[in-house]
Amino acid sequence: MPLLALTGGIASGKSTIAARFAELGATVVDADVLAREVVEPGEPALAAVAEAFGDGMLLPDGRLDRPALGRIVFADPDARHRLNGIVHPAVVERSQALFRAALEQDPQRVVVYDVPLLDARGTGEFERIVVADAPVEVRVRRLVTLRGMAEDDARARIAAQLDDDARRALATDVVDTSGTLADTFAQVDALWARLQG
């Protein structure tokens, strides 16, 4: 089972690449989805977040107040580190269970782990590291126009992540998403063909 990590900064086009891999037949495991699941009410990681950051991080119905937590962790690297120390181990455990399930279902299936923070997990378990890449200004424009984010917030989110050069240094494959959708798909399709060879 080829296990690929697909990573990239916020608004880099990673989700577009993941969707294309899924269309081509890959099993895609989304770390962002898992990160939301592990902090649902009743999950141990949610209790740990409330303990670390205070009960003010919980909404009246017991769910995580994501905007409130986001304001803290994107402004404070130490707080972000504490949060990652809670959420990442739970995500790793859940993702590895999904990888095993995919292998049991089809030992030849390509599994793509869609993960924004690969630097926090490490690269050792992955056969290939695919990096979605677009210039910072393109990503800022996407965040402002497509997600309605204020430009200062967009720049802060980008600055809080691993820098692009460090991310590219991890890559076995880089997909440049700054062009057209067709250009991005062509790069993914070419990589898929190499994986099938």
> Three-state secondary structure along 23-74?
HHCCEEEEHHHHHHHCCCCCCHHHHHHHHHHCHHHECCCCCECHHHHHHHHC
Q: Domain check: are 86 and 12 in the same one? A: no
Q: Domain check: are 197 and 136 in the same one? A: yes
Number of domains, the chain: 2
Decide which of 74, 107, 140 is a domain's last residue: 107
Contacts of 5 (CB under 8 A, 6+ apart): 112, 113, 115, 118, 121, 123, 126, 128, 129, 130
Q: Domain check: are 134 and 163 in the same one? A: yes
Decide which of 107, 132, 155 is a domain's last residue: 107
Q: Domain check: are 61 and 154 in the same one? A: no
> Is the distance from CB of 17 to CB of 150 less than 8 angstroms?
no
Q: In this structure, what token pair is assigned to residue 1?
A: 């089972």
Please report, for the domain that includes residue 52, its CATH number: 3.40.50.300
**Whole domain around residue 161: which residue ranges?**
1-26+110-197
Q: Domain check: are 190 and 121 in the same one? A: yes
Q: Domain check: are 126 and 184 in the same one? A: yes
Q: Domain check: are 5 and 20 in the same one? A: yes
Per 3-state DSSP, the chain is made up of helix, strand and coil in percentages (nearest 5) of 60, 15, 30
Q: Domain check: are 11 and 42 in the same one? A: no
Which class for 195: exposed (0-12), middle (13-18), buried (19 or more C-beta within 10 A)? middle
- CA distances (Å), 58 to each of 47, 76, 80, in order? 10, 19, 17
Q: What pTM did the predictor assign?
A: 0.83
Q: Domain check: are 125 and 164 in the same one? A: yes
Q: Domain check: are 118 and 160 in the same one? A: yes
* pLDDT, position 156: 87
Q: Domain check: are 13 and 48 in the same one? A: no
Q: Domain check: are 114 and 187 in the same one? A: yes
Parallel, antiparallel, or unpaired for β 111-114 and 173-176?
A: unpaired
Q: How many other β-carbons are positioned within 10 Å of the β-carbon of residue 71?
A: 13
Decide which of 59, 87, 107 is a domain's last residue: 107
Tens of pLDDT, residue by residue, the chain (197 residues): 689 999 998 999 999 999 999 999 999 999 989 999 999 999 999 999 999 999 889 999 999 999 999 999 988 999 999 998 999 999 999 999 999 999 899 998 999 999 987 766 667 889 999 999 999 999 999 999 989 999 998 998 888 787 888 888 889 999 999 999 999 999 999 999 999 87
